[in-house]
Amino acid sequence: MHQQRSEPHLSPSSDTEDIVAILAPRLAYFAGVARTEHVTRAAQEMQVPQSTLSRAMVRLEQDLGVDLFARRGRTVSLTPAGRTFLSSVERALAEIERAADEVRADADPATGKVAFGFLHTMGSETVPGLIRAFRVDHPRVRFSLVQNYGEAMIERLRSGELDLCLTSPVPDAPDLVARRLDEQKLRLVVPADHRLASRRRIRLAEAADETFVTLEPGYGLRRITDDLCQQAGFRPRVAFEGEEAETLRGLVAAGLGVALLPPPAVPRPGVVELTVTAPRAAREIGVAWLDGHPDTPPVAAFKKFLLSKRGTLLPD
């Protein structure tokens, strides 16, 4: 009696969270009784005491404020309200079963899924090569791939949408774990007919009077560009801002400015790429994940694989 009185009970003002918390544990019991139309048989099938099942059904009806069953001894039949309720309960239970199957499949060591984010500049060669190499030993692991800029991927890590991400700069935040994997040199990209195009090397200060095309604020490469120009003693005069490095290269080829960019996957006509001798122009590439977040076996395997690529992630 004490246990029964201490159980939560719905009131007319109960919100949706209360309703779900109170009703959810009884839904499978209700579906079992509705399917068999016999309390004893349902209790045997579900391997619960008949008294527990009977009390659960009575309490369910009390909480809802409607009769779900018409009773004839231990045999029951659904009322019109019970049939309406059963239809929704069966859909809800089926969705729960589907979700359980999905998360179990995603965690399977052989066929599970890794949600992996990376910078746009990593997408043409680096990431496809990494996944190809990883799948030599894990041929059936699946990937959900997201290309974005660094800050957006960090937010996706925090929201649980990503397991791992390749980003730059390497983040330093108390809720994240980040490991430096490699370094990528940046070049000053100029139009092929530019006054500096005959040069092979340049100090960045020599481009102080140039118009720059850059990525938008919030992108890691934009932050690095601004910092390098500041170290060289000037603030870049920005004419165009974009979201993707190869678009910027196209703007440079069209004569619309110069840009600090990582090497292209494939050489692009119409531009010349100059080595920057001062300040040191490079960006660190690292892998990050949420601190304390448990890894599924496929995520743990891919994380270990990425960490084994320290110093060899990018071509020389």
| pLDDT at site 101 | 83
Q: Does the residue 267 lie in any domain?
A: yes
Q: Which two tokens stand for residue 118?
A: 């990376």
103: Cβ–Cβ under 8 A, 6 or more apart, which residues? none
d(CA 186, CA 231): 15
Q: Backbone dihedral region of 212: left (phi > 0), alpha (psi from -120 to 50 degrees) or beta?
A: beta
Tell me, yes or no, whether 228 and 298 share the same domain: no
Q: Is 92 exposed, middle or buried (0-12, 13-18, 19+ CB in 10 A)?
A: middle
Tell me, yes or no, whether 174 and 296 share the same domain: yes
Tell me, yes or no, whether 136 and 211 share the same domain: no
From 87, 107, 127, the end of a domain falls on 107
Average pLDDT (103-111) is: 90
Tell me, yes or no, whether 42 and 100 share the same domain: yes
Q: Any idea what the CATH number is for the domain that residue 201 is in?
A: 3.40.190.10
What domain range is 203 assigned to?
187-280
Q: Does the residue 167 lie in any domain?
A: yes
81: Cβ–Cβ under 8 A, 6 or more apart, which residues? 66, 67, 68
From 58, 77, 107, the end of a domain falls on 107
Tell me, yes or no, whether 170 and 293 share the same domain: yes
Tell me, yes or no, whether 154 and 220 share the same domain: no
Least confident of 69-73, 126-130, 277-281, 294-298: 69-73
The pTM of the full predicted model, rounded to 2 decimals, is 0.76
Average pLDDT (62-81) is: 88
Q: Is 36 exposed, middle or buried (0-12, 13-18, 19+ CB in 10 A)?
A: middle
Q: Which two tokens stand for residue 70?
A: 């018409």
The string of pLDDT tens digits covering residues 114-170 is 999 999 889 888 999 999 999 999 999 999 999 999 899 999 999 999 999 999 999
d(CA 276, CA 260): 9
d(CA 231, CA 21): 58
From 59, 92, 107, the end of a domain falls on 107
Q: Does the residue 52 lie in any domain?
A: yes
Q: Report DSSP state, residue 264.
A: P
Cα separations (Å) of 169 from 99, 112, 212, 224?
A: 36, 29, 21, 8
Tell me, yes or no, whether 289 and 275 share the same domain: no
Average pLDDT (5-11) is: 45
